A and B are shown apart, each in its own frame.
Chain A
Protein backbone atom coordinates (compact mmCIF):
# COMPACT_ATOMS: atom_id res chain seq x y z
CA UNK A 1 0.00 0.00 0.00
CA UNK A 2 2.71 2.41 1.03
CA UNK A 3 4.60 1.70 -2.21
CA UNK A 4 1.55 2.63 -4.25
CA UNK A 5 1.18 5.95 -2.50
CA UNK A 6 4.82 6.73 -3.09
CA UNK A 7 4.53 5.82 -6.77
CA UNK A 8 1.50 8.05 -7.13
CA UNK A 9 3.47 10.90 -5.60
CA UNK A 10 6.23 10.47 -8.12
CA UNK A 11 3.79 10.40 -11.00
CA UNK A 12 2.17 13.54 -9.67
CA UNK A 13 5.48 15.31 -9.33
CA UNK A 14 6.46 14.28 -12.83
CA UNK A 15 3.26 15.73 -14.28
CA UNK A 16 3.72 19.01 -12.44
CA UNK A 17 7.36 19.13 -13.62
CA UNK A 18 6.45 18.43 -17.24
CA UNK A 19 3.72 21.02 -17.49
CA UNK A 20 5.40 23.87 -15.66
CA UNK A 21 9.08 23.19 -16.13
CA UNK A 22 9.43 23.44 -19.86
CA UNK A 23 8.51 26.42 -22.00
CA UNK A 24 8.64 30.09 -21.09
CA UNK A 25 6.88 31.38 -17.97
CA UNK A 26 3.44 32.74 -18.77
CA UNK A 27 3.27 36.47 -19.32
CA UNK A 28 0.62 38.25 -17.27
CA UNK A 29 -1.26 41.36 -18.41
CA UNK A 30 -3.74 43.08 -16.11
CA UNK A 31 -6.41 45.55 -17.20
CA UNK A 32 -8.43 47.52 -14.65
CA UNK A 33 -11.00 50.31 -14.70
CA UNK A 34 -14.26 51.20 -16.45
CA UNK A 35 -17.09 48.81 -15.69
CA UNK A 36 -18.79 49.82 -18.96
CA UNK A 37 -15.91 48.48 -21.05
CA UNK A 38 -15.20 45.54 -18.72
CA UNK A 39 -17.44 42.98 -20.49
CA UNK A 40 -15.86 43.88 -23.84
CA UNK A 41 -12.36 43.63 -22.43
CA UNK A 42 -13.22 40.21 -21.00
CA UNK A 43 -14.33 38.92 -24.39
CA UNK A 44 -11.26 40.35 -26.07
CA UNK A 45 -9.06 38.77 -23.43
CA UNK A 46 -10.69 35.36 -23.86
CA UNK A 47 -10.23 35.50 -27.59
CA UNK A 48 -6.66 36.71 -27.31
CA UNK A 49 -5.69 33.96 -24.89
CA UNK A 50 -6.90 31.21 -27.24
CA UNK A 51 -4.47 32.40 -29.90
CA UNK A 52 -1.71 33.32 -27.44
CA UNK A 53 -1.55 30.48 -24.91
CA UNK A 54 1.60 31.88 -23.33
CA UNK A 55 -0.17 35.04 -22.14
CA UNK A 56 -2.68 35.45 -19.32
CA UNK A 57 -4.90 38.54 -19.52
CA UNK A 58 -6.74 39.48 -16.32
CA UNK A 59 -9.60 41.99 -16.38
CA UNK A 60 -10.68 43.90 -13.28
CA UNK A 61 -13.43 46.51 -12.82
CA UNK A 62 -13.35 49.31 -10.30
CA UNK A 63 -14.31 52.34 -12.37
CA UNK A 64 -12.51 54.74 -14.68
CA UNK A 65 -10.81 56.65 -11.87
CA UNK A 66 -9.37 53.44 -10.48
CA UNK A 67 -8.23 52.41 -13.96
CA UNK A 68 -6.12 55.53 -14.34
CA UNK A 69 -4.75 55.17 -10.82
CA UNK A 70 -3.84 51.52 -11.35
CA UNK A 71 -1.98 52.35 -14.55
CA UNK A 72 -0.11 55.13 -12.73
CA UNK A 73 0.80 53.00 -9.74
CA UNK A 74 1.58 49.92 -11.81
CA UNK A 75 -1.08 47.81 -10.11
CA UNK A 76 -2.34 47.15 -13.65
CA UNK A 77 -0.36 47.51 -16.88
CA UNK A 78 -3.37 48.94 -18.69
CA UNK A 79 -6.13 51.16 -17.30
CA UNK A 80 -9.58 51.42 -18.91
CA UNK A 81 -11.34 54.79 -18.77
CA UNK A 82 -14.51 55.95 -20.49
CA UNK A 83 -14.39 59.70 -20.02
CA UNK A 84 -14.87 62.60 -22.40
CA UNK A 85 -11.45 63.90 -21.50
CA UNK A 86 -8.75 62.23 -19.45
CA UNK A 87 -7.95 64.05 -16.19
CA UNK A 88 -4.61 65.86 -15.82
CA UNK A 89 -3.13 63.08 -13.67
CA UNK A 90 -3.25 60.83 -16.75
CA UNK A 91 -0.83 63.16 -18.61
CA UNK A 92 2.06 60.94 -17.59
CA UNK A 93 0.44 58.00 -19.38
CA UNK A 94 0.05 57.10 -23.01
CA UNK A 95 -3.52 56.75 -24.12
CA UNK A 96 -5.25 54.92 -26.92
CA UNK A 97 -8.88 55.24 -28.00
CA UNK A 98 -10.19 51.72 -28.50
CA UNK A 99 -13.93 52.31 -28.91
CA UNK A 100 -16.64 54.89 -28.58
CA UNK A 101 -19.83 54.68 -26.60
CA UNK A 102 -23.03 56.65 -27.19
CA UNK A 103 -24.99 57.89 -24.20
CA UNK A 104 -28.69 57.61 -24.98
CA UNK A 105 -31.29 59.80 -23.29
CA UNK A 106 -34.15 57.44 -22.51
CA UNK A 107 -37.82 57.71 -21.56
CA UNK A 108 -40.52 55.30 -20.60
CA UNK A 109 -42.25 53.88 -23.73
CA UNK A 110 -45.57 55.21 -22.38
CA UNK A 111 -44.26 58.75 -22.77
CA UNK A 112 -45.40 60.35 -26.03
CA UNK A 113 -42.32 62.57 -26.35
CA UNK A 114 -39.79 61.47 -28.95
CA UNK A 115 -37.42 64.43 -29.21
CA UNK A 116 -35.68 66.96 -27.00
CA UNK A 117 -33.09 69.60 -27.74
CA UNK A 118 -29.76 69.65 -25.95
CA UNK A 119 -30.89 72.82 -24.16
CA UNK A 120 -34.05 71.06 -22.96
CA UNK A 121 -32.03 68.09 -21.70
CA UNK A 122 -29.79 70.56 -19.85
CA UNK A 123 -32.83 72.30 -18.36
CA UNK A 124 -34.46 69.05 -17.25
CA UNK A 125 -31.35 67.67 -15.56
CA UNK A 126 -30.54 71.04 -13.96
CA UNK A 127 -34.05 71.34 -12.58
CA UNK A 128 -35.10 74.51 -14.44
CA UNK A 129 -37.64 72.48 -16.44
CA UNK A 130 -39.77 70.54 -13.99
CA UNK A 131 -42.88 69.57 -15.94
CA UNK A 132 -43.26 67.66 -19.21
CA UNK A 133 -45.76 70.34 -20.26
CA UNK A 134 -42.89 72.85 -20.62
CA UNK A 135 -41.30 70.77 -23.39
CA UNK A 136 -44.55 69.88 -25.13
CA UNK A 137 -45.49 66.77 -23.22
CA UNK A 138 -48.27 65.85 -20.77
CA UNK A 139 -48.90 67.89 -17.63
CA UNK A 140 -46.87 65.85 -15.16
CA UNK A 141 -43.76 66.38 -13.03
CA UNK A 142 -40.58 65.03 -14.61
CA UNK A 143 -38.82 62.33 -12.60
CA UNK A 144 -35.12 62.88 -13.30
CA UNK A 145 -32.93 59.82 -12.84
CA UNK A 146 -29.15 60.11 -12.76
CA UNK A 147 -26.06 58.19 -11.67
CA UNK A 148 -24.02 58.53 -8.49
CA UNK A 149 -21.28 61.14 -8.19
CA UNK A 150 -18.03 59.79 -9.64
CA UNK A 151 -19.71 57.65 -12.28
CA UNK A 152 -17.93 57.86 -15.65
CA UNK A 153 -21.22 57.87 -17.54
CA UNK A 154 -22.54 60.72 -15.41
CA UNK A 155 -19.44 62.90 -15.69
CA UNK A 156 -19.32 62.31 -19.46
CA UNK A 157 -23.01 63.14 -19.80
CA UNK A 158 -22.70 66.32 -17.75
CA UNK A 159 -19.58 67.44 -19.60
CA UNK A 160 -21.02 66.93 -23.08
CA UNK A 161 -24.39 68.50 -22.33
CA UNK A 162 -22.52 71.23 -20.45
CA UNK A 163 -23.64 73.51 -17.64
CA UNK A 164 -25.51 70.84 -15.69
CA UNK A 165 -25.75 71.17 -11.93
CA UNK A 166 -27.85 68.15 -11.20
CA UNK A 167 -31.21 69.05 -9.68
CA UNK A 168 -31.65 68.11 -6.03
CA UNK A 169 -34.85 66.29 -6.98
CA UNK A 170 -33.04 63.71 -9.08
CA UNK A 171 -33.26 60.07 -8.09
CA UNK A 172 -29.86 58.39 -8.03
CA UNK A 173 -29.22 54.85 -9.27
CA UNK A 174 -25.89 53.08 -9.12
CA UNK A 175 -25.62 51.33 -12.48
CA UNK A 176 -26.76 51.42 -16.10
CA UNK A 177 -28.98 48.44 -15.38
CA UNK A 178 -30.88 50.00 -12.47
CA UNK A 179 -31.33 53.23 -14.48
CA UNK A 180 -32.99 51.10 -17.14
CA UNK A 181 -35.30 49.36 -14.63
CA UNK A 182 -36.28 52.64 -12.96
CA UNK A 183 -37.11 54.33 -16.26
CA UNK A 184 -39.01 51.23 -17.39
CA UNK A 185 -41.09 51.42 -14.20
CA UNK A 186 -41.95 55.12 -14.11
CA UNK A 187 -44.00 56.56 -16.98
CA UNK A 188 -42.79 60.12 -16.35
CA UNK A 189 -39.10 59.54 -15.86
CA UNK A 190 -36.05 60.46 -17.89
CA UNK A 191 -32.59 58.92 -17.62
CA UNK A 192 -29.47 58.26 -19.64
CA UNK A 193 -27.39 55.15 -20.22
CA UNK A 194 -24.88 53.47 -22.45
CA UNK A 195 -26.09 52.84 -26.01
CA UNK A 196 -25.25 49.14 -25.82
CA UNK A 197 -27.72 48.60 -22.98
CA UNK A 198 -30.90 49.85 -24.61
CA UNK A 199 -33.72 47.32 -24.81
CA UNK A 200 -37.44 47.33 -25.56
CA UNK A 201 -38.42 48.34 -22.01
CA UNK A 202 -37.16 51.89 -22.56
CA UNK A 203 -37.29 54.38 -25.40
CA UNK A 204 -34.27 56.36 -26.60
CA UNK A 205 -35.14 59.82 -27.93
CA UNK A 206 -33.52 62.12 -30.45
CA UNK A 207 -31.36 64.96 -29.15
CA UNK A 208 -31.26 68.05 -31.36
CA UNK A 209 -33.04 66.00 -34.00
CA UNK A 210 -30.44 63.23 -34.18
CA UNK A 211 -31.27 59.71 -32.96
CA UNK A 212 -28.76 57.77 -30.85
CA UNK A 213 -27.75 55.36 -33.58
CA UNK A 214 -24.42 54.30 -34.90
CA UNK A 215 -24.91 56.17 -38.15
CA UNK A 216 -25.59 59.50 -36.47
CA UNK A 217 -22.78 58.99 -34.00
CA UNK A 218 -20.33 58.28 -36.84
CA UNK A 219 -21.51 61.34 -38.79
CA UNK A 220 -21.18 63.52 -35.70
CA UNK A 221 -24.84 64.52 -35.66
CA UNK A 222 -25.48 62.84 -32.31
CA UNK A 223 -23.38 64.66 -29.75
CA UNK A 224 -23.58 62.45 -26.65
CA UNK A 225 -20.59 60.23 -27.34
CA UNK A 226 -17.61 59.41 -25.19
CA UNK A 227 -14.41 57.62 -26.12
CA UNK A 228 -13.13 54.56 -24.28
CA UNK A 229 -9.44 54.99 -23.49
CA UNK A 230 -6.83 52.42 -22.63
CA UNK A 231 -4.05 54.15 -20.72
CA UNK A 232 -0.62 52.70 -20.02
CA UNK A 233 2.95 53.60 -19.13
CA UNK A 234 5.27 54.62 -21.97
CA UNK A 235 7.49 51.56 -21.54
CA UNK A 236 5.30 48.47 -21.44
CA UNK A 237 6.37 44.87 -21.98
CA UNK A 238 6.34 43.51 -25.56
CA UNK A 239 3.47 41.16 -24.68
CA UNK A 240 1.47 44.10 -23.40
CA UNK A 241 1.99 46.23 -26.50
CA UNK A 242 1.11 43.21 -28.65
CA UNK A 243 -2.21 43.02 -26.78
CA UNK A 244 -2.81 46.74 -27.30
CA UNK A 245 -2.18 46.24 -31.04
CA UNK A 246 -4.68 43.41 -30.98
CA UNK A 247 -7.41 45.55 -29.40
CA UNK A 248 -7.27 48.07 -32.26
CA UNK A 249 -6.91 45.36 -34.91
CA UNK A 250 -9.84 44.99 -37.38
CA UNK A 251 -10.77 41.62 -35.89
CA UNK A 252 -11.08 42.95 -32.31
CA UNK A 253 -12.81 46.13 -33.45
CA UNK A 254 -15.36 44.04 -35.31
CA UNK A 255 -16.06 42.11 -32.11
CA UNK A 256 -16.46 45.31 -30.09
CA UNK A 257 -18.84 46.60 -32.74
CA UNK A 258 -20.89 43.42 -32.87
CA UNK A 259 -21.52 43.64 -29.14
CA UNK A 260 -22.85 47.17 -29.13
CA UNK A 261 -20.00 49.69 -28.99
CA UNK A 262 -18.85 51.94 -31.81
CA UNK A 263 -15.49 51.33 -33.49
CA UNK A 264 -12.64 53.66 -32.56
CA UNK A 265 -12.23 54.97 -36.09
Chain B
Protein backbone atom coordinates (compact mmCIF):
# COMPACT_ATOMS: atom_id res chain seq x y z
CA UNK B 1 0.00 0.00 0.00
CA UNK B 2 1.29 3.38 -0.88
CA UNK B 3 1.27 5.95 1.92
CA UNK B 4 0.45 9.36 0.59
CA UNK B 5 0.24 12.75 2.24
CA UNK B 6 -3.50 12.57 2.55
CA UNK B 7 -3.60 9.41 4.67
CA UNK B 8 -0.82 10.71 6.90
CA UNK B 9 -2.61 14.00 7.45
CA UNK B 10 -5.84 12.18 8.14
CA UNK B 11 -4.35 9.85 10.74
CA UNK B 12 -2.38 12.63 12.44
CA UNK B 13 -5.49 14.79 12.68
CA UNK B 14 -7.51 11.86 14.05
CA UNK B 15 -4.93 11.26 16.78
CA UNK B 16 -4.84 14.97 17.67
CA UNK B 17 -8.63 15.21 17.76
CA UNK B 18 -8.95 12.21 20.03
CA UNK B 19 -6.10 13.30 22.30
CA UNK B 20 -8.15 16.35 23.29
CA UNK B 21 -11.06 14.08 24.11
CA UNK B 22 -8.80 11.64 25.92
CA UNK B 23 -7.27 14.32 28.13
CA UNK B 24 -10.74 15.51 29.12
CA UNK B 25 -11.70 11.93 29.96
CA UNK B 26 -8.48 11.38 31.93
CA UNK B 27 -9.02 14.53 33.97
CA UNK B 28 -12.58 13.50 34.75
CA UNK B 29 -11.55 9.98 35.74
CA UNK B 30 -8.68 11.24 37.89
CA UNK B 31 -10.79 13.78 39.78
CA UNK B 32 -13.52 11.23 40.44
CA UNK B 33 -11.03 8.53 41.46
CA UNK B 34 -9.40 10.87 44.01
CA UNK B 35 -12.51 12.62 45.25
CA UNK B 36 -15.42 10.22 45.08
CA UNK B 37 -14.23 7.65 47.69
CA UNK B 38 -13.81 10.55 50.11
CA UNK B 39 -17.40 11.66 49.52
CA UNK B 40 -18.63 8.16 50.31
CA UNK B 41 -16.47 8.05 53.45
CA UNK B 42 -17.78 11.35 54.80
CA UNK B 43 -21.27 10.78 53.45
CA UNK B 44 -22.48 12.59 50.35
CA UNK B 45 -25.29 14.32 52.25
CA UNK B 46 -22.96 15.56 54.99
CA UNK B 47 -20.39 16.73 52.49
CA UNK B 48 -22.84 18.62 50.31
CA UNK B 49 -25.29 20.00 52.83
CA UNK B 50 -23.47 20.68 56.10
CA UNK B 51 -22.11 24.15 56.64
CA UNK B 52 -18.94 23.76 58.69
CA UNK B 53 -15.62 23.52 56.89
CA UNK B 54 -12.78 22.71 59.27
CA UNK B 55 -10.45 20.08 57.83
CA UNK B 56 -8.32 20.06 61.01
CA UNK B 57 -11.33 19.00 63.07
CA UNK B 58 -12.54 16.55 60.42
CA UNK B 59 -15.54 18.65 59.40
CA UNK B 60 -16.03 18.86 55.67
CA UNK B 61 -19.20 20.75 54.75
CA UNK B 62 -19.12 22.63 51.45
CA UNK B 63 -22.72 23.85 51.28
CA UNK B 64 -21.75 27.52 51.84
CA UNK B 65 -19.25 27.25 48.98
CA UNK B 66 -21.79 25.75 46.57
CA UNK B 67 -24.18 28.58 47.43
CA UNK B 68 -21.34 31.10 47.07
CA UNK B 69 -20.31 29.79 43.65
CA UNK B 70 -23.90 30.00 42.41
CA UNK B 71 -24.47 33.49 43.85
CA UNK B 72 -21.26 34.88 42.43
CA UNK B 73 -21.86 33.27 39.03
CA UNK B 74 -25.43 34.51 38.76
CA UNK B 75 -24.36 37.90 40.05
CA UNK B 76 -21.77 38.04 37.28
CA UNK B 77 -24.44 37.07 34.75
CA UNK B 78 -26.85 39.75 36.00
CA UNK B 79 -24.12 42.31 35.37
CA UNK B 80 -22.32 40.81 32.38
CA UNK B 81 -25.14 39.37 30.25
CA UNK B 82 -27.33 42.49 29.77
CA UNK B 83 -24.28 44.69 29.27
CA UNK B 84 -22.73 42.25 26.82
CA UNK B 85 -25.88 41.61 24.80
CA UNK B 86 -26.73 45.31 24.73
CA UNK B 87 -23.20 46.04 23.55
CA UNK B 88 -23.52 43.44 20.81
CA UNK B 89 -26.86 44.85 19.63
CA UNK B 90 -25.47 48.37 19.60
CA UNK B 91 -22.40 47.36 17.64
CA UNK B 92 -24.35 45.39 15.04
CA UNK B 93 -27.45 47.44 14.58
CA UNK B 94 -26.61 51.02 15.42
CA UNK B 95 -22.92 51.48 14.80
CA UNK B 96 -21.37 52.09 11.38
CA UNK B 97 -19.31 49.13 10.15
CA UNK B 98 -16.10 51.14 10.20
CA UNK B 99 -16.45 51.94 13.92
CA UNK B 100 -17.27 48.32 14.71
CA UNK B 101 -14.07 47.23 13.02
CA UNK B 102 -12.18 49.19 15.68
CA UNK B 103 -14.36 48.52 18.70
CA UNK B 104 -14.79 44.76 18.39
CA UNK B 105 -11.07 43.87 18.43
CA UNK B 106 -10.61 46.29 21.32
CA UNK B 107 -13.24 44.47 23.36
CA UNK B 108 -11.71 41.13 22.47
CA UNK B 109 -8.42 42.45 23.79
CA UNK B 110 -10.13 42.59 27.18
CA UNK B 111 -10.13 38.78 27.14
CA UNK B 112 -6.35 38.82 27.05
CA UNK B 113 -5.97 40.66 30.35
CA UNK B 114 -4.83 38.18 33.02
CA UNK B 115 -7.37 37.55 35.77
CA UNK B 116 -4.90 38.58 38.46
CA UNK B 117 -4.99 42.10 37.02
CA UNK B 118 -8.77 42.21 37.33
CA UNK B 119 -8.42 40.90 40.88
CA UNK B 120 -5.88 43.56 41.71
CA UNK B 121 -8.18 46.29 40.41
CA UNK B 122 -10.95 44.78 42.51
CA UNK B 123 -8.85 44.84 45.66
CA UNK B 124 -7.47 48.31 45.11
CA UNK B 125 -10.48 50.16 43.69
CA UNK B 126 -13.75 48.26 43.92
CA UNK B 127 -13.46 46.77 47.44
CA UNK B 128 -12.59 50.09 49.14
CA UNK B 129 -15.45 51.73 47.20
CA UNK B 130 -17.97 49.13 48.39
CA UNK B 131 -16.63 49.36 51.94
CA UNK B 132 -17.00 53.12 51.98
CA UNK B 133 -20.44 53.35 50.36
CA UNK B 134 -22.25 50.14 51.24
CA UNK B 135 -20.59 48.91 54.43
CA UNK B 136 -19.22 45.46 55.13
CA UNK B 137 -15.62 44.45 54.56
CA UNK B 138 -15.65 45.39 50.88
CA UNK B 139 -14.36 42.00 49.76
CA UNK B 140 -17.76 40.52 48.98
CA UNK B 141 -20.25 38.77 46.69
CA UNK B 142 -20.86 42.12 45.02
CA UNK B 143 -17.19 42.81 44.35
CA UNK B 144 -16.68 39.33 42.91
CA UNK B 145 -19.82 39.62 40.77
CA UNK B 146 -18.83 42.97 39.33
CA UNK B 147 -15.29 41.85 38.54
CA UNK B 148 -16.49 38.59 36.98
CA UNK B 149 -19.24 40.45 35.13
CA UNK B 150 -16.59 42.59 33.47
CA UNK B 151 -14.34 39.61 32.83
CA UNK B 152 -17.05 37.73 30.92
CA UNK B 153 -17.96 40.72 28.72
CA UNK B 154 -15.64 39.81 25.83
CA UNK B 155 -17.08 36.29 25.72
CA UNK B 156 -20.69 37.51 25.68
CA UNK B 157 -20.06 40.37 23.25
CA UNK B 158 -17.99 38.58 20.65
CA UNK B 159 -20.21 35.49 20.38
CA UNK B 160 -23.43 37.54 20.51
CA UNK B 161 -22.10 39.89 17.84
CA UNK B 162 -21.39 36.94 15.58
CA UNK B 163 -24.87 35.51 16.22
CA UNK B 164 -26.61 38.82 15.52
CA UNK B 165 -24.41 39.46 12.50
CA UNK B 166 -25.45 36.08 11.08
CA UNK B 167 -29.15 37.03 11.01
CA UNK B 168 -29.98 37.55 7.30
CA UNK B 169 -30.60 41.15 6.35
CA UNK B 170 -33.84 40.16 4.66
CA UNK B 171 -35.34 39.59 8.15
CA UNK B 172 -34.63 43.18 9.16
CA UNK B 173 -35.81 44.50 5.81
CA UNK B 174 -39.02 42.52 6.17
CA UNK B 175 -39.67 43.95 9.63
CA UNK B 176 -38.95 47.49 8.49
CA UNK B 177 -41.16 47.04 5.43
CA UNK B 178 -44.03 46.02 7.71
CA UNK B 179 -43.71 49.35 9.49
CA UNK B 180 -41.63 48.33 12.52
CA UNK B 181 -39.31 50.94 13.96
CA UNK B 182 -35.60 50.15 14.11
CA UNK B 183 -35.82 49.17 17.77
CA UNK B 184 -38.93 47.05 17.17
CA UNK B 185 -37.18 45.18 14.40
CA UNK B 186 -34.24 44.56 16.74
CA UNK B 187 -36.12 43.09 19.66
CA UNK B 188 -38.97 41.43 17.76
CA UNK B 189 -37.01 39.93 14.89
CA UNK B 190 -33.20 40.08 15.14
CA UNK B 191 -32.90 39.07 18.80
CA UNK B 192 -35.32 36.15 18.34
CA UNK B 193 -33.47 34.90 15.32
CA UNK B 194 -30.13 35.18 17.09
CA UNK B 195 -31.36 33.86 20.44
CA UNK B 196 -29.61 30.48 20.36
CA UNK B 197 -26.26 32.14 19.69
CA UNK B 198 -26.86 34.68 22.45
CA UNK B 199 -27.78 31.95 24.92
CA UNK B 200 -24.66 30.04 23.92
CA UNK B 201 -22.57 33.12 24.67
CA UNK B 202 -24.14 33.39 28.11
CA UNK B 203 -23.51 29.70 28.85
CA UNK B 204 -19.86 30.04 27.93
CA UNK B 205 -19.62 33.14 30.10
CA UNK B 206 -21.25 31.27 32.97
CA UNK B 207 -18.65 28.52 32.68
CA UNK B 208 -15.89 31.09 32.77
CA UNK B 209 -17.36 32.84 35.81
CA UNK B 210 -17.89 29.60 37.71
CA UNK B 211 -14.37 28.41 36.97
CA UNK B 212 -12.53 31.68 37.59
CA UNK B 213 -10.26 31.36 40.60
CA UNK B 214 -7.54 33.95 40.96
CA UNK B 215 -9.65 37.09 40.69
CA UNK B 216 -12.29 35.58 42.98
CA UNK B 217 -9.80 34.65 45.69
CA UNK B 218 -8.57 38.22 45.66
CA UNK B 219 -11.93 39.98 45.88
CA UNK B 220 -14.42 37.58 47.52
CA UNK B 221 -12.98 37.53 51.05
CA UNK B 222 -12.98 33.71 51.29
CA UNK B 223 -15.11 33.40 54.40
CA UNK B 224 -16.88 30.03 54.58
CA UNK B 225 -20.38 31.19 55.37
CA UNK B 226 -23.71 31.44 53.58
CA UNK B 227 -24.03 35.12 52.60
CA UNK B 228 -27.10 37.09 53.70
CA UNK B 229 -26.30 40.31 51.86
CA UNK B 230 -24.38 41.19 48.72
CA UNK B 231 -21.76 42.88 50.89
CA UNK B 232 -20.97 39.63 52.78
CA UNK B 233 -17.72 37.85 51.99
CA UNK B 234 -17.90 34.34 50.52
CA UNK B 235 -15.64 31.48 49.44
CA UNK B 236 -16.37 29.79 46.13
CA UNK B 237 -15.60 26.15 45.28
CA UNK B 238 -12.67 27.07 43.07
CA UNK B 239 -11.24 29.44 45.69
CA UNK B 240 -11.42 26.67 48.30
CA UNK B 241 -9.33 24.32 46.17
CA UNK B 242 -6.69 26.93 45.37
CA UNK B 243 -6.49 28.32 48.91
CA UNK B 244 -5.93 25.10 50.75
CA UNK B 245 -4.14 23.05 48.11
CA UNK B 246 -0.63 23.99 49.19
CA UNK B 247 -1.03 22.90 52.80
CA UNK B 248 -3.43 20.00 52.40
CA UNK B 249 -2.39 16.42 53.05
CA UNK B 250 -4.32 13.19 53.56
CA UNK B 251 -8.04 13.63 54.11
CA UNK B 252 -7.90 17.39 53.57
CA UNK B 253 -6.36 16.82 50.15
CA UNK B 254 -9.04 14.27 49.24
CA UNK B 255 -11.64 16.78 50.38
CA UNK B 256 -10.29 19.26 47.83
CA UNK B 257 -10.57 16.68 45.06
CA UNK B 258 -14.14 16.04 46.21
CA UNK B 259 -14.72 19.79 45.93
CA UNK B 260 -13.46 19.44 42.37
CA UNK B 261 -15.98 16.66 41.75
CA UNK B 262 -18.80 18.91 42.94
CA UNK B 263 -17.57 21.75 40.73
CA UNK B 264 -17.46 19.35 37.78
CA UNK B 265 -21.02 18.18 38.43
CA UNK B 266 -22.34 21.74 38.94
CA UNK B 267 -20.82 22.81 35.61
CA UNK B 268 -22.33 19.73 33.91
CA UNK B 269 -25.77 20.52 35.33
CA UNK B 270 -25.56 24.17 34.25
CA UNK B 271 -24.51 23.15 30.75
CA UNK B 272 -27.31 20.59 30.52
CA UNK B 273 -29.90 23.17 31.56
CA UNK B 274 -28.55 25.68 29.09
CA UNK B 275 -28.37 23.17 26.23
CA UNK B 276 -31.93 22.06 26.81
CA UNK B 277 -32.98 25.72 26.83
CA UNK B 278 -31.46 26.14 23.38
CA UNK B 279 -33.14 23.00 22.13
CA UNK B 280 -36.57 24.02 23.37
CA UNK B 281 -36.24 27.36 21.65
CA UNK B 282 -35.20 25.65 18.44
CA UNK B 283 -38.23 23.37 18.65
CA UNK B 284 -40.78 26.11 19.19
CA UNK B 285 -39.59 28.19 16.24
Contacts and interface: CB of A to CB of B under 8 A. Distances in A.
Tell whether A and B belong to one assembly: yes
Given A63-B246, A150-B252, A182-B139, A172 B235 contact: yes
Interface string B246-268: 11110010000000000000000
Interface string A67-92: 00100000000000000000000000
User: Which range contains the number of A residues in contact with the other chain?
Assistant: 20 to 34
Contacts of B224: 168, 172
Given A143-B137, A172-B235, A185 B127 contact: yes
B221 interface: yes
A242 interface: no
A68 to B, nearest CB: 9
B233 A151 contact: no
Contacts of A178: 218
Nearest to A175: B246
B243 A174 contact: yes
B196 interface: no
A199 to B, nearest CB: 17
B137 A150 contact: no
B284 interface: no
Contacts of A29: none
Interface in B76-129: 123-124, 127-128
A63 B247 contact: yes
Contacts of A174: 217, 222, 242-243, 246
Contacts of B221: 171-172
A37 B31 CA distance: 32
Nearest to A154: B247
A149 B244 contact: yes
Nearest to B224: A168
A174 B123 CA distance: 14
A251 interface: no
Contacts of A64: 247
B55 A150 contact: yes
A170 interface: yes
Contacts of A63: 246-247
B227 to A, nearest CB: 11
A171 B131 CA distance: 14
B19 interface: no
B54 interface: yes
Interface in B179-228: 217-218, 221-225
A27 interface: no
A189 B222 CA distance: 15
Interface string B134-170: 0001110000000000000000000000000000000
A63 B235 CA distance: 22
B123 A181 contact: yes
B276 interface: no
A65 interface: yes
Contacts of A169: 223, 225
B135 to A, nearest CB: 9
Given A171-B233, A174-B243, A185 B222 contact: no
B235 A150 contact: no
Given A150-B244, A169-B223, A171-B223, A69 B249 contact: yes
B7 interface: no
A190 to B, nearest CB: 12
A148 interface: yes
B243 A172 contact: yes
Interface of A: 35, 61-66, 69, 143, 148-152, 155, 168-174, 178, 181-182, 185-186, 189
25 contacts: A62-B246, A63-B246, A64-B247, A65-B247, A65-B249, A69-B249, A148-B222, A148-B243, A148-B247, A149-B54, A149-B55, A149-B252, A150-B55, A150-B246, A151-B247, A152-B247, A168-B225, A169-B223, A171-B222, A172-B224, A174-B222, A174-B243, A174-B246, A181-B123, A186-B138
Given A174-B222, A185-B128, 15 more contacts: A61-B246, A62-B246, A65-B248, A69-B249, A143-B137, A148-B243, A149-B53, A149-B244, A168-B225, A169-B223, A172-B221, A174-B243, A181-B123, A182-B123, A185-B123
